[in-house]
Homo-oligomer: A and B are copies of this chain.
Amino acid sequence: MPGKRPITPELRTELKTGAFVILLLAAMLSATLASASTLLRGTGDLAIIIERASGAVQIVETTGNTRIGRVAGLGDLSHASAVFSRDGRYAYVFGRDGGLSKVDLLEAKLVTRVLQSGNSIGGAISQDGRLVAVSNYQPGGVKIFDAADLSLVADIPAEYGDGLRSKVIGLVDAPGQRFVFSLWDAGETWVVEMRDPAKPVIRKFKDIGRNPYDGLITPDGRFYIAGLFGEDGMALLDLWHLDKGVERILPGYGKGEQALPVYKMPHLEGWAVAGDRAFVPAVGHHEVLVMDTKTWREVGRIPVQGQPVFVMARPDGRQIWVNFAFPRNDKIQVIDSESLTIIRTLTPGKGVLHMEFEPRGEEVWVSVRDADQVHVYDTASLERRTVLPAHKPSGIFMTARAHRIGL
């Protein structure tokens, strides 16, 4: 054994330095491990909640119904929506101010943000997940970006008539690497095929009706339907047979009734198909319209307590949930899709802005703006299970949308 060495001041300094380095490395190691274990998780049960007034999104998980992160700095998020990368890790958030933000849900950080127009109204992600499209009001058109770095891939101005540009609404993805959208001012629907991103192939359908205000696509991606604000009715396009052109459906559904002032434009994005019935909001009426999806004819209408905004089917199609425009936006009505009767009226509180079902339908998340809360309901008992705080919450979007056509 070597003999003992006297502890000199120099040796003490060296030992201290060594110990410090070791402690520092141990701390770094433990921080890395902690961070890795926080981040290491599946993304299938994640969701974002838009906090519209603060330009932020909350990141939540729907298994334990807890908040796991928050990302701010996303600009004006009134009327914001989102789509997801096919791996479920990234959310693409479309802000009202033309901002397009790519958010990393695992690291809870903003990856990239581009201010791509002056005023926009939603977007879509291509079938293969490689392209993100945004529909713009000002300047009117659609811009398409690389999903990886948000670099511009294609710019499609919504030109019509004599050098005019239209606001674009109702943008959805469709099978065959296509995007479909409508022109509010022009009354047109366009189908853009992006198989070769350098050469978009555009097909235009004119005279679809006055002022299309939103569009939807059937869950199988076959039928695109634009709702019309300028007249009662909707415009149907069969994407399997473009040569058939656009067909007008539900013509004059408000005939003989006094249309009410429309306080909030209804949404079609969250429409409802249950079995062979489709449920859509009637614009300016306290009614939900029921169509047969085989004939696209009206087969019923359900009186509700206000002007419907979102009309959404529970994923199994057994229930239809409806929220409403101001001043009756404190309530939700739940409709039985078979008997077409209202089975429950819930009163979550003022400003019920959005609802999102968990992918297999066991729970539904509801944003209640004025209460600064998100409520989670059990869809079997219709009881409230969880209340989460959120600052002026609006849209709620779950990563399972990544795997659906048109969402």
Contact with B along A219-245 (1 / 0, CB 8 A): 011100000000000000000100000
**Across the interface, which residues of B come within 8 angstroms of A87, CB to CB?**
41-46, 61, 63
CB atoms of B39 and A85 under 8 A apart = no
CB atoms of B41 and A89 under 8 A apart = yes
Bound: A153/B43 CA distance, A: 27
Q: Which residue of B lies closest to A403 (CB)?
A: B359
For the complex, is A128 an interface residue (Cβ under 8 Å from B)? yes
Pick the contact of A317: B42, B220, B318, B404 (CB < 8 A).
B220
Pick the contact of A32: B21, B29, B129 (CB < 8 A).
B29
**Across the interface, which residues of B come within 8 angstroms of A265, CB to CB?**
none
For the complex, is A106 an interface residue (Cβ under 8 Å from B)? yes
CB atoms of B316 and A221 under 8 A apart = yes
Bound: A63/B88 CA distance, A: 11
For the complex, is A35 an interface residue (Cβ under 8 Å from B)? yes
CB atoms of A63 and B86 under 8 A apart = yes
For the complex, is A11 an interface residue (Cβ under 8 Å from B)? yes
Q: Which residue of B lies closest to A44 (CB)?
A: B88
- The DSSP consensus for interface residues of chain A is loop
For the complex, is A55 an interface residue (Cβ under 8 Å from B)? no
For the complex, is A138 an interface residue (Cβ under 8 Å from B)? no
* Chain A positions 94-136 with a Cβ under 8 Å from a chain B Cβ: 105-107, 127-129
Bound: A260/B219 CA distance, A: 38
For the complex, is A207 an interface residue (Cβ under 8 Å from B)? no
Pick the contact of A177: B13, B18, B62, B362 (CB < 8 A).
B362
Most buried by B among A62, A294, A402: A402
For the complex, is A276 an interface residue (Cβ under 8 Å from B)? yes
**Across the interface, which residues of B come within 8 angstroms of A400, CB to CB?**
403
**Across the interface, which residues of B come within 8 angstroms of A299, CB to CB?**
none
For the complex, is A162 an interface residue (Cβ under 8 Å from B)? no
Q: Which residue of B lies closest to A11 (CB)?
A: B5
CB atoms of A106 and B240 under 8 A apart = no
CB atoms of B40 and A43 under 8 A apart = no
Contact with B along A386-404 (1 / 0, CB 8 A): 0000000000000110111
For the complex, is A258 an interface residue (Cβ under 8 Å from B)? no
For the complex, is A72 an interface residue (Cβ under 8 Å from B)? no
Bound: A147/B146 CA distance, A: 38
For the complex, is A194 an interface residue (Cβ under 8 Å from B)? no
For the complex, is A349 an interface residue (Cβ under 8 Å from B)? no
Bound: A356/B348 CA distance, A: 41
Q: Which residue of B lies closest to A274 (CB)?
A: B220
For the complex, is A36 an interface residue (Cβ under 8 Å from B)? yes
For the complex, is A200 an interface residue (Cβ under 8 Å from B)? no
Bound: A200/B246 CA distance, A: 51
For the complex, is A71 an interface residue (Cβ under 8 Å from B)? no
Given contacts A5-B11, A32-B36, 8 further A-B contacts (CB under 8 A): A2-B10, A25-B25, A39-B40, A44-B87, A44-B399, A240-B338, A359-B402, A359-B403
State the A residues within 8 Å of B (CB).
2-3, 5, 8-11, 13, 18, 21-22, 25-26, 28-29, 32-33, 35-36, 39-46, 61-63, 84-90, 105-107, 127-129, 175-177, 195, 220-222, 240, 274-276, 294, 315-318, 338, 359-362, 380, 399-400, 402-405
Q: Would you mind naming 23 contact pairs between A and B with Cβ atoms under 8 Å apart?
A: A5-B8, A29-B32, A36-B36, A39-B40, A40-B40, A40-B107, A41-B106, A42-B85, A42-B105, A44-B85, A44-B86, A44-B402, A44-B403, A45-B86, A127-B361, A127-B362, A175-B315, A220-B275, A220-B315, A222-B316, A276-B294, A359-B402, A400-B403
